[in-house]
Structure 1
């Protein structure tokens, strides 16, 4: 187990980039053959906006890495965190840490992004997407992503987890983010069965429906159990889904400048006002 975790702790930046690119390309190819929705769009032109936003995210990762490194150095020297007060096998500590990260850094912060007005305005850009596909997983306002990173560090500090746990979580998160956003049609029975534990493509698509109450549902990223526990789970007929958001003009979906200014555009009135 130590060897397994050591691999993630010592992953070079290029290896992480290869993983991200490989998962993105894998689901890009698969959704071309097994599409849930037959979009009539230029896939490359559509991807451009989302991949530029991915570029912003990667830059934030570089800068945020300094703070993250400082947090782990402090944790290593202070023995702060819940993991130092409980005796569990290392695999159990890893599972608990992943669950806490998924709860706090994914489900909980995502819930807040929908319920707190100023945070919702940062998150609108993710929901203004009218062609949800694998690249939508990269579509986040830089400030939205920054908030998510802060909550991830909060989870790290609460648990006092080692760096390897956090990096393994990041690797898993990349996979599930692209998997759940991919315009992928799994066999219905398989998707439904997987959704009892994990967030699946069908399950997450209801979250991208253009109006409430579905927009405020299915907040999870890796595990679906949080939505089930907290009563935010929706699983209906995907044919009833319409992508986008009812407070933003669909024609602006690919206008990067407009999208980045949405949080500060007071002409956009939201239900959280």
Structure 2
């Protein structure tokens, strides 16, 4: 286990970037053969704005990497955090760390992005995509992503986890992000069965329906337990889903300028208004 974790602790930056592009490309190609929805769109043109936003995300990630190293150095010296309060096998500590990260840095922050009006205006960019596919997983307004990264650091400090745990979580999170957004048709029995444990492509698609209440459901990224526990779980007929978000339906979802400006565009109403 120590050698396994050491791999993630010493994983070079180029390999992490390669993992992002490999998993994105894998699900992007796979969905072309096993599509849930047959889109009438130009796949590369649709991907353009999402990939530009991915570039912003990677730049922010590099800057946050400096802050992350500082946090982990402080934790190592201070012994602050939940995992320093008791002794447990490494695999138990790793499981606790991933569960806390999945709740705080995925489910809880995602819930806040929907429920707090100022945060929701940033998150509209993610939901404005009218053709949800693997590249939609990269579609985040830069400030939206900064908020997400900040919550991740809070989870790190709460647990006092070692840096290897965090890097392993990031690797898993990337894979789940592209898997759940992919326009992928798993056998219904498999998708529904897996949704009792993890977030699946069908499950997440209801979250991208253009109207409430489905838009405010299925917030999870890896574990589906949070949605089931807090009553935000939805599973229905995927043929009823229409992608996008009704309050920004008139906006050009393939223009990077329009998308970056959505949070400040007074013509895009808040769903609370």
TM-score, normalized by length of structure 1? 0.99
Q: Which residue of 2 aligns with 1:267?
A: 267
Contact 1:75 1:157 (C-alpha < 8 Å) held by counterparts = yes
Please list every run of at least 4 consecutive aligned residues from structure 1 whose deviation after the TM superposition is greater than 4 angstroms. Answer: none
Contact 1:80 1:160 (C-alpha < 8 Å) held by counterparts = yes
Residues in 2 aligned to 1:24 and 1:244: alpha-carbon distance in whole angstroms? 21
- Alignment of 1:83 onto 2:59: no
Contact 1:244 1:250 (C-alpha < 8 Å) held by counterparts = no
How does 1:1-273 map onto structure 2 within 5 Å? 1-250=1-250, 252-273=252-273
Contact 1:105 1:148 (C-alpha < 8 Å) held by counterparts = yes
Contact 2:210 2:246 (C-alpha < 8 Å) held by counterparts = yes
How many positions carry a matched residue from both structures? 273
Could you tell me which runs of 5 or more consecutive residues in structure 2 were left unpaired when the two chains were aligned. Answer: none
Residues in 2 aligned to 1:179 and 1:272: alpha-carbon distance in whole angstroms? 31
Residues in 1 aligned to 2:196 and 2:75: alpha-carbon distance in whole angstroms? 35
Residues in 2 aligned to 1:57 and 1:271: alpha-carbon distance in whole angstroms? 26
Residues in 1 aligned to 2:255 and 2:26: alpha-carbon distance in whole angstroms? 26
Tell me, what secondary structure is at the counterpart of 1:61? helix
Tell me, what secondary structure is at the counterpart of 1:247? helix
Residues in 2 aligned to 1:250 and 1:103: alpha-carbon distance in whole angstroms? 33
Residues in 1 aligned to 2:17 and 2:266: alpha-carbon distance in whole angstroms? 37
Tell me, what secondary structure is at the counterpart of 2:106? helix
- CA shift at 1:251, angstroms? 5.0
Contact 1:124 1:262 (C-alpha < 8 Å) held by counterparts = yes
Tell me, what secondary structure is at the counterpart of 2:247? coil
Contact 2:251 2:258 (C-alpha < 8 Å) held by counterparts = no
- CA shift at 1:249, angstroms? 2.9
- CA shift at 1:266, angstroms? 1.7
TM-score, normalized by length of structure 2? 0.99
Contact 1:220 1:227 (C-alpha < 8 Å) held by counterparts = yes
- CA shift at 1:250, angstroms? 4.5
- CA shift at 1:267, angstroms? 1.9
Task: Tell me the alpha carbon deviations over residues 173-203 of structure 1, each in whole angstroms, 9 at most, x when there is no partner.
Answer: 0000000000000000000000000000000
- CA shift at 1:242, angstroms? 0.2
- CA shift at 1:272, angstroms? 2.1
Residues in 1 aligned to 2:100 and 2:5: alpha-carbon distance in whole angstroms? 18
- CA shift at 1:29, angstroms? 1.2
Could you tell me which runs of 5 or more consecutive residues in structure 1 were left unpaired when the two chains were aligned. Answer: none
Residues in 2 aligned to 1:251 and 1:110: alpha-carbon distance in whole angstroms? 23
Residues in 1 aligned to 2:54 and 2:271: alpha-carbon distance in whole angstroms? 28
Give RMSD over aligned pairs.
0.7
